Amino acid sequence: MTQGVLKAVADALEQGEEAALVTIVSARGSTPQRVGAKMLVFADGRTIGTIGGGCYEHDAFWKAREALRTRRPQLVHYELTDDFAEETGLVCGGQMDVFIEPLEPAPRLYIVGAGHVGQQLGRFAQSAGFRIHVVDDREKFANRERFPGADQIAVDSIPDWLATADLPVTAYVVIVTRGHRHDLDALRMLSQRALRYLGLIGSRAKVKRIVDALLAEGMPPDVFERIHAPIGFDIGAVTPEEIAISIVAELIAAKYGKLELPHIAAASKRWQKLDQIARTAALPHPLTTVD
């Protein structure tokens, strides 16, 4: 049974699927399973293996689902002589400790745009442990020579490729195309997808123009609460290499849950306030010259 669970762990990590591994790490007295018994819990509720059944396994299952959400391991103690165990007749007279560990595969980074920043982003992000996927409609940019370590390089129309791409919910996506129209097309296709991280490169003015265009098309405003733009920590970056490093730093922060409110969500409150002031004073919009 343990071998089957471990194979499932390996398969999940290879396929980029999140799961939580539940393992009995300590057992005293009479218990339904021995130390080392394992159960793998997937985000969609599937399980492989068992730690003995009953209501305590049910409790561990839900704690595993919670660990997937928080990405934090935990050690849980169970008394098999209390009312908790008695509910299903598992009064074995023993105790056990269960370790619940969320397993995260190497994060997949989808780089939309294979220009100079995209190339450097692939280089540094791979060194930081990300698996790289690249899409661009220009073969002279999206190729093995420029992205030697990429898992996938797609040469295709960006919106067409994104329309059919099966992106996992754990994916990180960075839009770094060569122009506003391509950025708009990409963000339109991605903005309502469930993703771990979605970011757009560009100035504040450019980001606002794209957001305004999508709002005019009927995009729900709450969609933008999940989008990071402009991307990259403010380190004064100028060159493609420096910009890529600033973006990778932000991706790492997102990976470990260290990012606060996405840039658009934070900035939109300031935009709304400035817009309200402008309307009240009958002045030109204050953001028309901001870049």
Least confident window among 61-75, 81-95, 173-187: 81-95
Nearest CA-CA partner of 215 in 187, 194, 193, 196: 187
| pLDDT tens track for 237-260 | 999 999 999 999 999 999 888 887
The better pLDDT of the pair 100, 96 is held by 100
Please tell me the pTM assigned to this model.
Answer: 0.74
The Cα 127–Cα 150 span in angstroms is 11
Q: Is the pLDDT of residue 282 over 60?
A: no
Q: Is the pLDDT of residue 94 over 80?
A: no
| pLDDT tens track for 144-164 | 999 999 999 999 999 999 999
- Selected from 3.80.10.10, 3.30.1330.30, 3.40.50.720, 2.60.40.10, the CATH number assigned to the domain covering 108-281 reads 3.40.50.720
Domain assignments of the chain as residue spans, ordered by start: 2-103, 108-281
Q: Which two tokens stand for residue 18?
A: 């999140």
* Helical residues (DSSP H) of 32-128, grouped into ranges: 54-70, 83-86, 116-127
